Structure 1
């Protein structure tokens, strides 16, 4: 059992997780939480956090990403229209993706969300909740949930 955990963690270290968001985070406490959870997540995977220029509307946002879409690996849009998961279901999803993908990119739209056409190009779409969150808080929640499921998979006690 212990050997399996080590094997699983070493596989995760090979997977790079990128978070792409639009517009700078204005709230200092939110910035600190993002940095904190990225640091924790870094124990399990390589991470990158990219901030693209904020724009008005969805179409321009999508076109900014389209130019580099092929380089993003397995793309997951974080959208209110996406699939809802329980923590256990999300753990299973992440474990499966990490076994088969070298690069996983989570894309957050701005306050207007992501363009429908762009959403269809993504490999998958995840909803954090049926509740509405600010763009900034959604980023924190997604990074925290990824840390949570990777910690669970590794036998950690964060979730208890």
Structure 2
């Protein structure tokens, strides 16, 4: 299994970098993991709809450059499907069993994801109807991927 996370924006806070490194190390027991950061566009204080659209398009171009052709794409979207940890584990396991060895998770920037990226998504995932900083979402996603592998392998993990 190969898991790629494409995320818009850089991690600036050390505590988030530490958590990302820890979960990356834990996941490496189960899967190859690549984390790709693409640059985010500077967003004005109160962007117009046209400015938002241009920003999302530029970020989408950067994301698409790193997307593998045969990868199963899971986008993190506020309007995506909310699932339990067990359901996410089942999804990952089912993909593996069906021969999908590459899964790519995409985390948008502060404005979310462009329509183009959302349209190529094989599965739209939501962690909550609440909004989280995209940097923090990377940690939450990694924790859930790690939890998924523990569940798949029947290993204990606190609830």
Q: Under a length normalisation based on structure 1, what TM-score does the superposition of the two structures give?
A: 0.85
Instruction: Identify the match of residue 63 of structure 1 among 61, 64, 77.
Output: 61
Unaligned runs of 5+ in 1: 1-14
Q: Give 1:144 shift.
A: 0.3
Q: Which runs of 4+ in 1 moved over 6 A?
A: none
The alpha carbon displacement at 1:117 in A equals 2.2
Question: Could you report, residue by residue, the CA deviation over 1:26-83 in whole angstroms, capped at 9, with x for unpaired residues?
Answer: 1110010011001101111011111111124211111222344344611111111211
Partner of 1:6: none
Superposed CA offset, 1:1-22 (max 9, x none):
xxxxxxxxxxxxxx10011112
Could you say which residue in structure 2 is the equivalent of 1:20? 6
Indicate which of 21, 27, 40 corresponds to 1:41.
Answer: 27
SS at match of 1:92: helix
Q: Distance in 1 between matches of 2:61 and 2:84?
A: 32
Query: Is the counterpart of residue 54 in structure 1 residue 54 in structure 2?
Result: no
In structure 2, the CA distance between the partners of 1:50 and 1:66, relative to structure 1 (3 Å rule), is closer
1:145 paired with 2:144, answer: yes
CA drift of 1:137 comes to 0.9
Give 3-state SS (helix, strand or coil) of 1:39's partner.
helix
For 2:64 and 2:140, how far apart are their aligned partners in 1?
25
Where in structure 2 are the equivalents of 1:79-158 lying within 5 Å?
Answer: 79-99=77-97, 100-158=99-157
Specify whether residues 68 and 148 from structure 1 end up closer, same or farther in structure 2 by C-alpha distance, changes over 3 A only.
closer
Instruction: State whether residues 10 and 135 of structure 2, in contact with CA within 8 Å, keep that contact through their aligned partners in structure 1.
Output: no
Q: State how many pairs are aligned.
A: 146
- C-alpha RMSD over aligned residues: 1.5
